[in-house]
Amino acid sequence: MRERIRVALLFGGRSGEHPVSIVTAAGIMAAIDRERYDVVPIGITRTGQWVVGAEDLTGSALTGAALPEVTATSGAGVVLSSAADGASLQVLEPGNLPVGLGKVDVVFPVLHGPYGEDGTLQGLLELADVPYVGSGVLASAVGMDKEFMKLVLAGRGLPIGPYVVVRPREWEQQRADVLLRAGELSLPLFVKPARAGSSLGVTRVEDYADLPDAIEEARRHDPKVLVEQGVEGREIECGVLGGRGGAAPRASVPGEIVVDHAEAEFYDFEAKYVSATQARTDAPADLPEDVAERVRSVAVQVFEAVGAEGLARVDVFVTPAGEVVVNEINTMPGFTPISMYPKVWEATGISYTELIDELIQLALERPRGLR
């Protein structure tokens, strides 16, 4: 019998997207091909402790009284160590030396936000010399920080909307200047943390008088804030997969976020993960063929501009005139079975289980070190 590939599935983490990551891990655990892969689930607490998590994540959900949480009591403490024969997991027991848990062939990190999706974890995995799913250090960092992402995209000539960056010192010492700069943007404005996801801390502003409160709300999640001018258009998302054997990246059919504006102002956390009625995702999106191809082309260009690897979801606006304006790239997009990224690939012909397999194979195929 062929030996199964050992996958360390990392989830949880220190960011506000901790519960979303757990639900993503639950979806992967339920769908991964167990005949091919031996999965070791490892939860990361909000304080950064790694624990060998219980395999039963099936009850994890973003609805109900209590959100899912990884705690220090979820399992035994564990560390990832590097050796000449490859990386391995070591269980830590109080008062004892580490106990070997076994070699790891590949790591599948499904952490979202800072300390997981921003290049920090990727740097650790590079130092451990272990293959892992997703983008490397630089692409992860650029994709996480919306200011530098926009600078890179603009430098490559890709279309982005007007925006203003609010840095901590500026807000604390030069607030009037910040509000003056932001006031040059046309309403509506979207105020968001520069380095967060899942629509956490995002506010739609229809009156400049509400801008200070919106900035303070975003600062609860990140001291650096972006104020973006709203773009009139449909919210379209496109999945990108790295190419096999040196081939070019592949783009899925585009999908669309359709918000019921009678129930929600925009696609916030509630509409995205909790409510069953505030928004829906259509895959494929109902777009003219030429516009859909333009979205797919732009998505691949964005993927390559930041040096992404493995997977990414590129979010754009399609204006009434058919122009494609880039909103952002997510280097570790939502990956629950009902998330947009798996849905657009399913509509393209790759099932959720096949997508998991493809991502692991891309990670195993990728050369280590500088590339």
User: Higher confidence at residue 265 or residue 236?
Assistant: 236
Provide mean pLDDT across the span 260-274.
53
225 in Cβ contact with 286 (< 8 Å): no
Q: What is the pLDDT of residue 275?
A: 44
pTM metric for this prediction: 0.89
Provide mean pLDDT across the span 349-357.
97
Cα–Cα distance list, 62 to 18, 66, 264, 269 (Å): 11, 8, 18, 10
Q: What is the pLDDT of residue 96?
A: 58
Cβ neighbour number for residue 105 with a 10 Å cutoff: 20
Model confidence band, residue 261 (pLDDT cutoffs 50, 70, 90): low
Is pLDDT at 56 greater than 80 in this prediction? Answer: no
Q: What is the pLDDT of residue 138?
A: 97
Model confidence band, residue 256 (pLDDT cutoffs 50, 70, 90): very high
Is pLDDT at 279 greater than 70 in this prediction? Answer: no
Is pLDDT at 241 greater than 60 in this prediction? Answer: yes
Half-sphere exposure of 50 (CA within 13 A, CB side): 19
Model confidence band, residue 277 (pLDDT cutoffs 50, 70, 90): low
Q: What is the pLDDT of residue 73?
A: 77
User: Higher confidence at residue 60 or residue 255?
Assistant: 255
List of domains in the chain = 5-132 (3.40.50.20), 142-159+232-365 (3.30.470.20), 163-229 (3.30.1490.20)
CA–CA distance, 22 with 42 (Å, rounded to integer): 10
Give the pLDDT confidence of 107-125 residue by residue, as tens digits: 999 999 889 999 999 999 9
Among the residue ranges 32-41, 69-78, 84-93, the one predicted with the least confidence is 84-93
Provide mean pLDDT across the span 5-28.
91
Is pLDDT at 13 greater than 80 in this prediction? Answer: yes
Give the pLDDT confidence of 79-99 residue by residue, as tens digits: 787 766 677 777 776 655 556
Provide mean pLDDT across the span 40-52.
90
Tokens representing residue 137 in the block: 């250090």
CA–CA distance, 44 with 91 (Å, rounded to integer): 14
Which of 226, 229, 207, 208 lies closest to 217, judged by CA?
226
Is pLDDT at 65 greater than 80 in this prediction? Answer: no
On average, the pLDDT of the chain sits at 88
| Sign of the torsion formed by the C-alpha atoms of 134, 306, 280 and 211 | positive
User: Higher confidence at residue 295 or residue 267?
Assistant: 295
Provide mean pLDDT across the span 261-266.
54
Give the pLDDT confidence of 297-346 residue by residue, as tens digits: 999 999 999 999 999 999 999 999 999 999 999 999 989 888 999 999 99
Q: What is the pLDDT of residue 265?
A: 60
Q: What is the pLDDT of residue 249?
A: 98
User: Higher confidence at residue 260 or residue 159?
Assistant: 159
Q: At a CB cut-off of 8 Å and minimum separation 6, what does 30 contact?
A: 58, 337
